[in-house]
Amino acid sequence: METYEQELEKTDASQLALRGKHGHPLRAVPRGAVKLAIGVDVQGDRWELVVWGFGRGEEMWVVDDLVIYGNPADQREWDLKLDPAIKATYRHVCGVEMSADAVAIDTGGHFTHQCYVFVRNRPNQNLYAVKGETRLGRPIK
């Protein structure tokens, strides 16, 4: 049985591209998805977001993949650029508009304080400041 790391090493970009072409289109929520969640990675000059759709039996799909360029050191840019992206809605294939049920923002970069301020200023919106781990198998602290 292969480990997760061995499986990742065998991933072929062309195979992933084919899945995208023949799977569901981005920004459309596939039939089995019943909840949406967003993961945000903060970089030096941008925010990178992945919107995930979750279904029964732990099935999940990438619904959207966004790169938002800006200055994460400037708190106003969090409000002007990130806030609208995490509040966006996505149309389910059945026609219903859906928004994210939860948003996790990684605090492990250079802009930890700005992330905490952004989350703190939005109580009751299911925003979570999280810390990622680079090594597999590490215990959650």
Q: Give the range of the structural domain holding residue 116, as residue numbers without chain letter.
A: 17-130
pLDDT of residue 1: 47
- Other beta carbons within 10 angstroms of residue 134's beta carbon come to 6
pLDDT of residue 92: 96
Instruction: Answer yes or no: is 3 within a domain.
Output: no
Q: Between the CA of residue 13 and those of 5, 9, 53, 79, what are the distances in Å?
A: 16, 11, 22, 34
pLDDT tens-digit readout, 78-133: 999 999 999 999 999 999 999 999 999 999 888 999 999 999 999 999 999 998 77
CA angle 76, 80, 83 (to 5 degrees): 110
| pTM confidence score | 0.80
CA angle 99, 134, 29 (to 5 degrees): 20
pLDDT tens-digit readout, 49-66: 999 999 999 899 999 999
Q: How many domains does the chain have?
A: 1
pLDDT of residue 5: 47
Which domain CATH number covers 27?
A: 3.30.420
Instruction: Answer yes or no: is 46 within a domain.
Output: yes
Dist. CA 16–CA 133, nearest whole Å:
24
Instruction: Answer yes or no: is 7 within a domain.
Output: no
